[in-house]
Amino acid sequence: MKAPPFQYVKPQSLAEVFELLGEHGDDAQILAGGQSLMPTLHLRLSSPTVLIDINGLDELAGISIDDGQVTIGALTRLAEVLKSDIVNAHLATLSRAMPHVAHVAIRNRGTFGGSIAYADPAAELPACMLALDATLIVQSGQAKREIAASEFFLGLYETARTPGELLIGARIPIDPPNRVNSFLELSRRHGDFAVVGLAATANAVGDRLEDVRLAFFGCEDRAKLAGRAALAVSGKRADAPTIDAAIDALTEDLDPVANLLGNSATKRHLAAVLTRRALGELARGVGEATHA
């Protein structure tokens, strides 16, 4: 099947992008990396009358660090994030996640912002944004605003962006010196969407874990923080009874949705398995931080 007919426009500035979005509204779609859009076009699941190609807007690309935060532009290619010295030095969880994001050919074209804005519930980057307490930056023709990652993902392919708004980047706090982390995912083939995955961060304070964040993907209709499970272990040593309590709390945090990759019972079981592994890894990280 081939894509339906559409008008192709490649604006030379952000201002022109917003003019086009204002003129065409829901009939327009943004082309960035195209790794999700192009298949849906050819399957005729998407049928825009205008395709706005934002490639070439250099102000939307790049990775920088300033005032304790890493800023990643929406048009930064996934391969650039994977290889970034800044990300590898200051955002360990994201660094660990990047090799799991799709396959090499997709990472070469796919964009950081596109993966987040598409909000696929089985994608790695939305969960990383939750685990790292990122701030997502969106802009329209009228204003720019910041949205906490915890408020950005609303449902299946649904975000807090309003019509006419474009995700232009993310700001992510750098890892503090006592940060411990884990990133785990189960997939049928490396690089495929996850059956279940978990991005976990915490701060090591003495022999305890503080500020624990457990962000699951591949379970529900969006990436989701498991708040009760995190609370069960925060401020405590991650010993066997504490980990058991966190796993018990998952039943209140997660309501897995069945799909072609597994039924809800399977996903619930796998989420518990990953939680046990991740909290064990965080606990070992506490020991390393204590003796560093």
Model confidence, pTM: 0.95
Q: Same structural domain for residues 183 and 284?
A: yes
Using the 3D structure, point to which of 150, 173, 196 is the last residue of a domain.
173
Domain CATH code at residue 278: 3.30.390.50
CA distances from 100 to 24, 65, 103, 118 (A): 36, 24, 8, 17
Q: Residue 100: how many CB atoms within 10 A of its CB?
A: 17
Q: How far, in Å, CA of 252 to CA of 83, rounded?
A: 38
Q: Same structural domain for residues 153 and 184?
A: no
Q: Same structural domain for residues 49 and 62?
A: no
Strand (E) or helix (H) holding 285: helix 264-290
Residues of the chain with pLDDT under 70: 1, 287-292
Q: Same structural domain for residues 195 and 150?
A: no
Using the 3D structure, point to which of 135, 157, 173 is the last residue of a domain.
173
- Residue 36's domain comprises 7-53
DSSP state letters, 92-136? HHHHHHGGGSS-HHHHHH-BHHHHHHHT-TT-HHHHHHHHTT-EE
Q: Are the CB atoms for 275 and 233 separated by under 8 Å?
A: no
Q: With respect to residue 166, please indicate whether it lies within any of the assigned structural domains.
A: yes
The whole-number pLDDT of residue 289 equals 56
Tell me the pLDDT tens digit for each residue of 119-141. 999 999 999 999 999 999 999 98
Q: With respect to residue 1, please indicate whether it lies within any of the assigned structural domains.
A: no
Token couple for 34: 């195209």
Tell me the pLDDT tens digit for each residue of 182-228. 999 999 999 888 999 999 999 999 999 999 999 999 999 999 999 99
Q: With respect to residue 190, please indicate whether it lies within any of the assigned structural domains.
A: yes
Q: With respect to residue 137, please indicate whether it lies within any of the assigned structural domains.
A: yes
Q: Same structural domain for residues 65 and 115?
A: yes
Q: Same structural domain for residues 193 and 240?
A: yes
Collapse the DSSP code of 139 into the 3-class scheme (helix H, G, I; strand E, B; otherwise coil) and give the result: strand
Q: How many domains does the chain have?
A: 3
Q: With respect to residue 49, please indicate whether it lies within any of the assigned structural domains.
A: yes
**Exposure pattern of 198-222 as b/e (b: 16+ CB <10 Å)?**
bbbbbbbeeebbeebbbbbbbbbeb
Token couple for 13: 């500035």
Q: Same structural domain for residues 20 and 90?
A: no
Domain CATH code at residue 135: 3.30.465.10
The whole-number pLDDT of residue 287 equals 64
Measured over the CA atoms of residue 36, residue 78, residue 189 and residue 184, the dihedral's sign is negative
Q: Same structural domain for residues 247 and 267?
A: yes
Q: With respect to residue 131, please indicate whether it lies within any of the assigned structural domains.
A: yes
- Measured at the CA of 152, the angle between CA 179 and CA 61, to 5 degrees, comes to 75
Q: With respect to residue 39, please indicate whether it lies within any of the assigned structural domains.
A: yes
Q: With respect to residue 2, please indicate whether it lies within any of the assigned structural domains.
A: no
The whole-number pLDDT of residue 154 equals 98
Using the 3D structure, point to which of 53, 74, 89 is the last residue of a domain.
53
Domain CATH code at residue 40: 3.30.43.10
The whole-number pLDDT of residue 41 equals 86
Q: Same structural domain for residues 234 and 270?
A: yes
Q: Which residues contact 182 (CB under 8 A, 6 or more apart)?
A: 93, 96, 198, 199, 200, 201, 277, 278, 279, 281, 282, 285
Q: Are the CB atoms for 180 and 286 separated by under 8 Å?
A: yes
Q: Same structural domain for residues 203 and 261?
A: yes
Q: Same structural domain for residues 244 and 275?
A: yes
Angle between helices 240-253 and 264-290 (to 10 degrees): 140
